[in-house]
Structure 1
Amino acid sequence: MTALPTSRAVAVIGSGAMGSGIAQVAAAAGYTVKLFDTRPEAVAKAIAGVIGMFNKLVEKERMSAADAAAAGARLQAAVTLADVADAGLVVEAIVENLDAKRALFTELETIVGDDCILATNTSSISVTAIGAPLRLPQRLAGMHFFNPVPLMALVEVVSGLATDAAVAATVFDTAAVWGKSPVHAKSTPGFIVNRVARPFYAEGWRLLNEQAADAATIDAVLREAGGFRMGPFELMDLIGHDVNFSVTQSVFQAYFNDPRFTPSVQQLELVNAGFLGRKSGRGCYPYGEGAAVPQPRCEMTQPRPAQVNFEVEPGTHGPVTEALAARLRERGIDVPLRHAPEGHASGEAPAFHCNGAAVYLTDGRTATARARDNQHADTVLFDLALDFATAKRIAVACADQCDPAAFNAVVGLFQAAGFTVTRLDDVPGLAVMRTVAMLANEAADAVHQGVCSAQAADIAMQKGVNYPRGPLAWADAVGVDHVVTVLHNLAQGYGEDRYRVSPLLRRHHASGVPIHA
């Protein structure tokens, strides 16, 4: 463990929400904290606010009165930058502007000792670029906290080209001592979270643009089937569309207009209209007193089908379809297992069959294309769920040539299993599957390009944006082979480089070795 010793002071520059949050966790961990801002009154207000937070923790019995008093006493106001001269670590949390950060760190170098570590809380600016003018750029690292700092566990420890490995290790271990879940990352656009999270929003916009469903329905599917805490549209309304669009545009431009990060024209329209989300009273949803809350779509109740079976081929009895079959059986639905007949189209099992309908887990093709390929008009696809044993909702789509009675039989089957059934228009990959596949693909590329480890990618997405499962662990759970198939079919269907398969996923697909082996 190479954490900064508690005998060394921590300086925090900037007393806004991020700076005061960083000061709170450092003081609670036993460090003397010197808080500086160009506005002395802001520092006094921030310190009072942090002490107030300690007192609230005491009221909730999450902190003792003695510990709260000691932590509050460790907070000090720095009147000038010269007051932080003895700091062992300085964390910058000022305006997100390259020139401002460079100017601050250049001045700090004339004040602090050469053994003092400099850390920037930047969420989007290159750590390499910030450190370039410094006399000792090797002592600068990114220490990217997430808001609200006291509640969010993740800290991205970001190394620029000049960052010394020992410095990054000390920042990492110090964050751990502060009760955080740190991960190492290389200084690349978006680091881990702001890069890997882009498909969560982008695929939502594409689904909406292609009229797969309305925003409320897509959000419900991602929440109640995918297990995400919030759907993409309600989350963007919370973040603010101006902020979310700006981050997407920044990552897109930083990667030289890679189509994988293409911003949404629909979101730009919201920004242009001033419909920024909750803070403006309107975004994807209306807000304010009396605002109508849009309800997600669901299918009308249908009778339970008389006949159901589960067809497999050797080697195709996958974990996802078996989990669904297990739920059907637990609900008293007999699902006899049968083997596909000789000459059956390869890849068209496992499948459920009920009242003439063939029911498949989406593989990235549309139901219409799959019905054509397997020469079975009554084809219905179902979407991925985080946990088929507990999911409340399931999304389905049917081929254009599917008989309505066959589709209704499938709806009745899933309703009998306790699902709320939502029909999406026949878009490739449906909602949860294409989102998870793209998240896994982006995480795999980050690992492949040396931005982070597979473990760090999963920790970052779970701790930084509260995903229910790390994207790469999710790919292992679904099966890397199936994820690769989904991405390949999306690329074929759209004819876009946006859905190109990460070389790392291809490698694991070829070897058959899970990502987290």
Structure 2
Amino acid sequence: MNDPNTAELTVGVVGAGAMGQGIVQVSLTGGMAVRLHDARPGGAEAGRDAVFARIDRLVEKGRLDEAGAEAAKGRLTLIDGIAGLAGCDAVIEAVFEDLQLKRKLFAEIEETVSDDCLIASNTSSILIASIASAARKRDRIAGLHFFNPVPLMKLVEVVRGPETSQATVDALVALGKRMGRVPVVARDAPGFLVNHGGRAFTTEGIRLLHERVATPAEIDAVMRDCCGYRMGPCELMDLTGIDVNLPVTDIIHEGFSQDPRLKTFFPHRALFEAGRHGRKTGAGHYDYDETGRITGAPSPDHASDAAPAKAVALAEPDAALKAFAEGLGATVLDADDGTSPILAAPVGEDCATLAHRTGADHRRLVAVDLVFLSEARATIMTPPGADPKARDAVAALIARAGRKVTAIKDSPGFVAQRIQAMIANLGAEMAQIGVAAPEEIDTAMELGLNYPKGPLALADAVGPDRVMAILAAMQDITGEDRYRTSLWLRRRALLGLSAHVPD
């Protein structure tokens, strides 16, 4: 391939749908000549018109001057067939997800372009190894996976197939940068990097629903207010579409030999079978009006008329919990008086386990998540058989200080500890099996899914040892390998190292 930064670089794009249009736009604004082909009659023309309209809007918004816009438009050529790709330096395929179609298309492209022309697929779900298996020169084939909408989503995954050369990877990284994207290099594996890493957020949310720990609104509110996500897992699934995220989850779960850390649970499939596919159908985890706004969802905020607790006991010594309670204006008793609420701040445990371990009266036990506590919201939970008066008195005490309160059923790891620990653990496992380097895993999840912290940065922020403790408690309580700690995370936790430390 020619120097990716040369002014004469020509990129071919096959497929003028939404993704193809975005790739064309960032290629044109990156100073490259583009040849666009679409097999549908009028498809290339419609794609061109859509791209030019968006370039015009950039001018209107002051993000591109008129001379630059006209120059960009002038670099686009529509071609009638694959033969028009002759002379391209790189060709990017952006047709729909059909393996046989892609193989046939790649064979036609190979017969047309020179041996040093790179051929990349924008596939999001098909292994590059499968696409390249029938190719003549597999070393120049890779994935170049953009995210929709391409002009707004800065990330692009450069997917290294089993036979992709380093020169090809380096050239595609440079090409992605010229397009104004942030490239990350990922291993050819089910879901690549972002779709693989995103499973923990949504599937653990589904698991919480499966166990009836909390409602969709409660789960989403906790993850937004206590952890900084723009959307909670239920909102996100409704936005992407249940008909999209369930099949992707199944593919990745199957692709990794049914690893229980990647599986989803019945409420996910129940929504799919019911046709409740999210915003697009007007119903998913939530109901939506014609504008796409959620309607009729119960409040995630616990409400009661109870008076705030004046005094509390602690289930076990805990300096941070004592400071929290005293900061709310409560007296922390030196010994249980037999009537006041009993506070605990478990890490990974549920209330039933903690009550059994400490001997605390489960009827008055109220647990507070101090690991993921924000000024906006606190999460509390109680065990089976608890007195609602104790819960309500603690909720009122917290609410008096200005925090909203979400009260959930008993759960190892509350809501946030569970989801966050699973995100960190999956990121660590991806590092362990070489999906990508730790820093690139973080970059991909922050840019591709708008995570406030990448999985390994999250592990470091919470503490690898604490993340491991949460997972270990959940595995012990549930007996499930779903919560087994990645060796990557375990080794670094035991040695007191950052989750980013390489092997």
Same fold (TM over 0.5): yes
Cα distance in 1 between the residues matched to 2:331 and 2:110: 72
Cα distance in 2 between the residues matched to 1:376 and 1:14: 64
Cα distance in 2 between the residues matched to 1:40 and 1:308: 73
Structure 1 residue 459 displacement after superposition: 0.8
Letter in 2 for 1:380: V
Q: Does 1:359 align with 2:362?
A: no
Cα distance in 2 between the residues matched to 1:443 and 1:337: 39
Cα distance in 1 between the residues matched to 2:199 and 2:220: 16
Structure 1 residue 12 displacement after superposition: 0.7
- The answer on whether the counterparts of 1:355 and 1:409 sit within 8 Å (CA) in structure 2 is no
The residue aligned with 2:418 is 434
Q: Does 1:104 align with 2:99?
A: no
- The answer on whether the counterparts of 1:461 and 1:471 sit within 8 Å (CA) in structure 2 is yes
Tell me, which stretches of 5 or more residues in structure 2 are unaligned?
none
- Alpha carbons of structure 1 residues 384 and 202: separation in structure 2 relative to 1, 3 Å: farther
Q: How does 1:364-513 map to 2 (within 5 A)?
A: 364-377=348-361, 378-383=364-369, 388=373, 390=375, 392-400=376-384, 402-513=386-497
Give per-residue Cα distances to partners, 1:419-453, cap 9 Å, x unaligned: 11010110111111111101111110110011111
Cα distance in 2 between the residues matched to 1:309 and 1:384: 16
- Alpha carbons of structure 1 residues 221 and 134: separation in structure 2 relative to 1, 3 Å: same
- The answer on whether the counterparts of 2:10 and 2:33 sit within 8 Å (CA) in structure 1 is yes
- The answer on whether the counterparts of 1:275 and 1:283 sit within 8 Å (CA) in structure 2 is yes
Structure 1 residue 163 displacement after superposition: 0.4
Cα distance in 2 between the residues matched to 1:171 and 1:509: 35
Tell me the SS of whatever aligns to 1:464.
helix
Tell me the SS of whatever aligns to 1:175.
helix
Q: How does 1:213-232 map to 2 (within 5 A)?
A: 213-232=214-233
- The answer on whether the counterparts of 2:314 and 2:343 sit within 8 Å (CA) in structure 1 is no
The residue aligned with 1:249 is 250
Tell me the SS of whatever aligns to 1:109.
helix
Tell me the SS of whatever aligns to 1:104.
helix
- The answer on whether the counterparts of 1:4 and 1:170 sit within 8 Å (CA) in structure 2 is no
Letter in 2 for 1:447: A
Structure 1 residue 335 displacement after superposition: 8.8
The residue aligned with 2:274 is 273
The residue aligned with 1:46 is 47
Structure 1 residue 359 displacement after superposition: 2.7
- The answer on whether the counterparts of 2:312 and 2:342 sit within 8 Å (CA) in structure 1 is no
Give per-residue Cα distances to partners, 1:372-425, cap 9 Å, x unaligned: 112222433233676x454x2222112335554443343233223321101011
Tell me the SS of whatever aligns to 1:142.
strand
Structure 1 residue 199 displacement after superposition: 1.6
Cα distance in 1 between the residues matched to 2:288 and 2:332: 50
Structure 1 residue 5 displacement after superposition: 2.5
- The answer on whether the counterparts of 1:2 and 1:169 sit within 8 Å (CA) in structure 2 is no
- The answer on whether the counterparts of 2:343 and 2:368 sit within 8 Å (CA) in structure 1 is no
Letter in 2 for 1:106: A
Cα distance in 1 between the residues matched to 2:312 and 2:332: 10
- Alpha carbons of structure 1 residues 293 and 159: separation in structure 2 relative to 1, 3 Å: same
Cα distance in 1 between the residues matched to 2:384 and 2:139: 60
Q: Does 1:169 align with 2:170?
A: yes
The count of residues paired between Structure 1 and Structure 2 equals: 492
The residue aligned with 2:75 is 74
Q: Compute the RMSD of aligned alpha carbons.
A: 2.7
Cα distance in 2 between the residues matched to 1:255 and 1:416: 48
Cα distance in 1 between the residues matched to 2:311 and 2:233: 37
Letter in 2 for 1:184: V
Cα distance in 2 between the residues matched to 1:34 and 1:266: 45
The residue aligned with 1:144 is 145
- The answer on whether the counterparts of 1:370 and 1:379 sit within 8 Å (CA) in structure 2 is no
- Alpha carbons of structure 1 residues 36 and 209: separation in structure 2 relative to 1, 3 Å: same
Tell me the SS of whatever aligns to 2:91.
strand
Cα distance in 1 between the residues matched to 2:146 and 2:370: 32
What is the TM-score when the length of structure 2 is the normalising length?
0.91
- Among candidates 293, 296, 300, match of residue 293 of structure 1: 296
- Alpha carbons of structure 1 residues 307 and 430: separation in structure 2 relative to 1, 3 Å: same
Structure 1 residue 145 displacement after superposition: 0.6
- Alpha carbons of structure 1 residues 426 and 468: separation in structure 2 relative to 1, 3 Å: same
Give per-residue Cα distances to partners, 1:457-504, cap 9 Å, x unaligned: 111111111111111111111111111011111111111111111001
- The answer on whether the counterparts of 1:189 and 1:195 sit within 8 Å (CA) in structure 2 is yes
- The answer on whether the counterparts of 1:384 and 1:433 sit within 8 Å (CA) in structure 2 is no
Cα distance in 1 between the residues matched to 2:107 and 2:166: 21
- Alpha carbons of structure 1 residues 298 and 389: separation in structure 2 relative to 1, 3 Å: closer
Give per-residue Cα distances to partners, 1:166-218, cap 9 Å, x unaligned: 11111112112211111111001111111111121111111111111222222
Structure 1 residue 4 displacement after superposition: 4.6
Cα distance in 2 between the residues matched to 1:33 and 1:501: 47
Cα distance in 2 between the residues matched to 1:87 and 1:337: 74
